[in-house]
Every structure is written in structure tokens, then in C-alpha cells.
Structure 1
Amino acid sequence: MADAPTLDIDHLRSWIGREDTAAELVTAELVRRFCATFDEDPGAPLPSQAVPRLLHWCLAQPAAPSHALGPDGHPARGGFLPPVPLPRRMWASGRLAFHGEIRVGDTMRRISRIESVEAKAGRTGALCFVTVRHEIDVDGRPTLSETQHIVYRGLDAGGPPAGAPEPAAEGAFRRAVDPSPPLLFRYSALTFNGHRIHYDDPYVTQVEGYPGLVVHGPLQATLLYRFATEIRGAPPVRFSFRGLSPAFANVPLFLNAEEDAGKLTLWTARAGGPVAMQAEAEW
């Protein structure tokens, strides 16, 4: 195995404070495709109709030319995000606070800022955490504040821990979903996400060493957010989530929820498996 790359943390921290601004018009057709992906009748969205929450992850995504993609399908390192030289890049966790609605016909603007870059020692090697703050508005009207934590790690850092992981509990509210390859492909297309672990079986199994296609973290978060909305009959105002272990295509995934002091605690897990993602929803 090749030596692990050295992290020049001082150089990587020079990215702190960098900002990026992106904007995109919210179209009825995007809303239709989003709803259809989540098995909801897309109907005919009308101008000024509020769009589903977390649709913003499908908007104003980086559009790197194909020749500028790295071997994992992500845009090559550098640019807005620091060029962390560790091969695995994943969305570790996020926290969102909603201030208003995004509507069909709005132009959503996202202002992103690098807030921190931290190196840590993981179970099998170096880890690097990058925190990004996003402020989203429509015509200067704040609609959403979001903090995103991205983790970078080596290829050997994603294997199972020693010993059998503790199986997840079953929630008072529980539903099975099918994380099929078409669902993963459609979500990658919606979010313009070229990360090969979500659609390229030979790559994900032979290069990154996973047993199958990996279910996106934001896809699981969206499923949990929609589940919380259904349980309470209204969308949460605050929502946080954290990935704990990978979930894979073609293995039924269970959405779970429990009431917790006026909030909902939610999690995903396969039958008999550990928690894949945990989340908390507040109203």
C-alpha cells in the first residue's frame, strides 16, 4: 500500500474565509423531477408555489467540465474547497435552519464560506474535516441557513470496525424504502453529482472497497426530513443529521423515528444493521 499523503494543514487552512456565490432559477420541471424521484405525484407545479424542502441541494451545483473531474467523479481538488489530498470525500453531517420558502419562479442565491479546516487522527489514518457555511436567499430575503461538514479520509478508512456493530433499534414510527440503483442514479442526476460510488459498481467495489453502491447522505437526509414532515403534518424548522455508517443499494433501508421531548429523533438502518444516519427534527 502506498504511503498516506501528508496533510499540509497550514496550507489547507489558508482556504478559511473563501467565499463562493451561485444562483439558479427554480423551475416547475425541476420540482416535477424531484417529486417523481421521491415517488410523489409530480402534478403541475404553479408559479409562486412553495417547493419541497431540501430541493435546494439540486440547485446551483458546480458544473465542472467532464475533463476536470477527478478519478472519483468529483470535480478536481482545489478551487473553492481546499485541495485535501485524501482520496475519499464524503458529506459527514449538516445542520439547517429554515427562515422561509423557496417558490417556483424564484432565483435562489447561495453564498458559501469556508469556516474551518481541521485535521484529526482516525481509526485507520488521517482525517480532514472542512466546515462550510451556506446562506440562501431569494431577492435578499433569507430562506435558509446551513452548516455542512465534509470529511476526507484514506481508502482504507471506511471498512467495518472490529467486532460486530450494534444493531439499530426499531423506532415507534418505521417505514421501509428501497434504495434501488435507479433511485440513486436519479438523485445523482438531480444534484449533478458525479461521485462514482453512487452509480459505478466496478469502481465502488474494486477501487473503494465497498460491497455495493453507496446511498447518498443527502438522499437519506431528505428521506428522513420528509418522514418527519409526514409524521407531524408540517415541515421541521430546524433539522440536523450525521452519517454513522454506509448504506447500500438493493438492501431495504428502514426509516425510524421516536418522539423526544417535543422533537423527533430519526435514523436509517437496514434490518439487523447499525444506524446509517441519525437526525433530529424540531418545529
Structure 2
Amino acid sequence: MSEDFSAWVGRREEVVDVLEPARTNALRVAALGQTTPLVAGDELPLLHHWLYFWDVRPPEGLGPDGHPARGGFLPPVPLPRRMWAGGRLKFLAPLKVGERVTRASTILKVEAKSGKSGELVFVTVEHQLSGAEGVAIVEEQDIVYRGAAAPGSIKGPTGEGPAPTAPWRRAVDPDPVLLFRYSALTMNGHRIHYDRPYAMDEEAYPGLVVHGPLQATLLADLAAQNLKAPITGFDFRGMSPAFDGTTLQVCGEPTETGASVWTEQGGVKNMTAAITCGAAR
């Protein structure tokens, strides 16, 4: 790729939001099946900070895929497909529902690569979230841009597959309603999650795509339910896309340092994550 995006490295922005309870409670009901509401002062569940800090643009500020138009804070990479490939989080202190939080973001790295699937551009962004008691979360997000996919090149699961044997597991139906709700709660306009003709005809997917952050949130919740020590680290990576129409198996098992968790469809892993636990906070 001939474009030079080195000028974007080091770019910073700050945004402020209030972690109002309606969004986290809506996700807890829609995705996690929990009906006891959280109130101001309760700890925000892990990864629910992704529900806040919306980047709302007017219609003329959107690209054809429903994302904000290229440019602005992130570099204007011309490759048509953009996805959140994974990330690393350190939980230093809990955030509280109702708290006013500042998110300071910095572009750490922009790398262009060529592989079997064509040109790729990787952008790494660091977010530091600070509440009343200082920095609570340090997060690195890996965003990948890639070329258009050929029709039929992205395969979905061929069936439900064998039942997983993991000691921790939960079956989730990633139906269009759940995907729409998560898109709405995160103000994620990417059409691959709710617009089936666009997902299939324009981006060559075999169905609606299950959000990576939604899968990560399900994994973090599964681990939090089964681990006694507090979670201090969460490193996750997307392996293959997950789609609606097939049960999403949310699985995990304990390790010496915390847990290994993953999602799978039809026996194929979609996302994996390593969880680290620490001393009580």
C-alpha cells in the first residue's frame, strides 16, 4: 500500500461519558438474562464500558458500511472491510454505574502488511479510562482493514456440531434481535450485524455477523460467574466469524493463572481469550 499513515501515530483524543444504568441493565437483560437491575454505585460489569462513549455522526458523516466515514481520529485507510480483531485489557480498579468517566485514546501503531488474503492494515489504539479514583482500565484494541472478499469465500458453520465438553459452558442463540440490540446499545452502525442483504451481497458473508465485542462480553461474564478471584486481565482474539442461525457455544475452563475461554459454532472456535486473575481489590 502506497499511502503513508505514520502521521496518525501518536494522535490523541479525549471523550467523557456518564455510565448511566439503563444501557448496562439493557445488555444484562438482552444478552445475559439477568433481571436484577444495577443502580448507581454498583460495579460496572466487565467490558460494559463498550456501551458508552458513542461516536454519533449525522447521516452525511457515515460511510456506505454504516460506520463513521473514514478519517477523523482513525486513519483514512482505503480498504473496504474493517473489523475489530482483538485486544488486551488490564482492569486496575472497578468503574461504578453512574460514574463520570474520561476515555483518553492514543493511536499506538499503524502497520501495512501483505498476506495470502491480500493487503492488510493493522491499527492499534490504546484507551485509558479514568473515574473518580484514577485510571481504572487500560485497553489496547487491534483494528484490521482488509480488501473486499470474493463471493463464497467466507464459510459459515455447516451445522451445530458436537456439544462442547468444557467444564463451563453456555449456549446462546445469536438471533437478529440480539444482534440488533447490541448494535443499538453500542451505537454500532456496521451493517453486517443487522442488514442481511448488505452482509451477504456486499461483504460476502453467509449471514449476519455476531459482534466480536458481544462475544467477548459473554466470555467475560462466564468467567466472572465461575472464578472466585477478581479478573485483572483479559486478552482476546477473533479466530473466525460467527453468524446468526447457529448456536453460539460460550465455553471456558480454569487455568493456573485464571481461565481460558472461547466461543465456538459447529465445533469451530470463533474467539479465544486468556483471563488473568489477581488479588482482591
- For normalisation by structure 1, the TM-score amounts to 0.90
Change (3 A) 1:7 1:259: farther
Matched, 1:71 2:64: yes
The equivalent position to 2:127 in structure 1, one of 131, 134, 141, is 134
Name the counterpart of 2:34.
41
Q: Following TM superposition, by how much is the alpha carbon of 1:235 offset from its aligned partner in structure 2, in angstroms?
A: 4.5
Structure 1: distance between partners of 2:168 and 2:124? 32
Change (3 A) 1:67 1:145: same
Query: Superposition pairs for residues 80-95 of structure 1, below 5 Å?
Result: 80-95=73-88
Structure 1: distance between partners of 2:230 and 2:53? 23
Change (3 A) 1:252 1:52: same
Structure 2: distance between partners of 1:75 and 1:7? 23
The equivalent position to 2:137 in structure 1, one of 140, 144, 151, is 144
Q: Following TM superposition, by how much is the alpha carbon of 1:35 offset from its aligned partner in structure 2, in angstroms?
A: 1.4
Query: Superposition pairs for residues 252-267 of structure 1, below 5 Å?
Result: 252-267=247-262
- What per-residue deviation string (whole Å, max 9, x for no partner) do you get for residues 17-67 of structure 1? 000111111112223212112233343433211121111101112111122
Change (3 A) 1:7 1:175: farther
Partner amino acid, structure 2, of 1:89:
R
Change (3 A) 1:199 1:75: same
The equivalent position to 1:172 in structure 2, one of 147, 167, 180, is 167
Name the counterpart of 1:53.
46
CA contact (8 A) 2:91 2:232 kept: yes
Structure 1: distance between partners of 2:93 and 2:209? 32
- RMSD between aligned alpha carbons? 2.0
Change (3 A) 1:43 1:130: same
Q: Following TM superposition, by how much is the alpha carbon of 1:257 offset from its aligned partner in structure 2, in angstroms?
A: 1.4
The equivalent position to 1:276 in structure 2, one of 228, 251, 270, is 270
Structure 1: distance between partners of 2:236 and 2:55? 23
The equivalent position to 2:99 in structure 1, one of 100, 106, 116, is 106
Name the counterpart of 2:237.
242
Matched, 1:15 2:15: no
Deviates more, 1:137-146 or 1:190-199: 137-146
Q: Following TM superposition, by how much is the alpha carbon of 1:105 offset from its aligned partner in structure 2, in angstroms?
A: 2.0
Deviates more, 1:219-228 or 1:44-53: 44-53
CA contact (8 A) 1:228 1:235 kept: no
Name the counterpart of 2:55.
62
Structure 1: distance between partners of 2:272 and 2:124? 19
Aligned residues: 271
Structure 2: distance between partners of 1:27 and 1:234? 27
Q: Following TM superposition, by how much is the alpha carbon of 1:262 offset from its aligned partner in structure 2, in angstroms?
A: 3.1
**Structure 1 unmatched runs, 5+:** 1-5
Q: Following TM superposition, by how much is the alpha carbon of 1:132 offset from its aligned partner in structure 2, in angstroms?
A: 0.2
Secondary structure of 1:116's counterpart equals: strand
- What per-residue deviation string (whole Å, max 9, x for no partner) do you get for residues 75-131 of structure 1? 000000000000000000110000111112211110000000001112221000000
Structure 2: distance between partners of 1:104 and 1:176? 28
Deviates more, 1:28-37 or 1:131-140: 28-37
Structure 2: distance between partners of 1:179 and 1:233? 28
Q: Following TM superposition, by how much is the alpha carbon of 1:260 offset from its aligned partner in structure 2, in angstroms?
A: 2.8
Structure 2: distance between partners of 1:102 and 1:263? 21
Structure 1: distance between partners of 2:225 and 2:194? 29
- For normalisation by structure 2, the TM-score amounts to 0.91
Change (3 A) 1:15 1:140: farther
Query: Superposition pairs for residues 177-188 of structure 1, below 5 Å?
Result: 177-188=172-183
Q: Following TM superposition, by how much is the alpha carbon of 1:232 offset from its aligned partner in structure 2, in angstroms?
A: 1.2
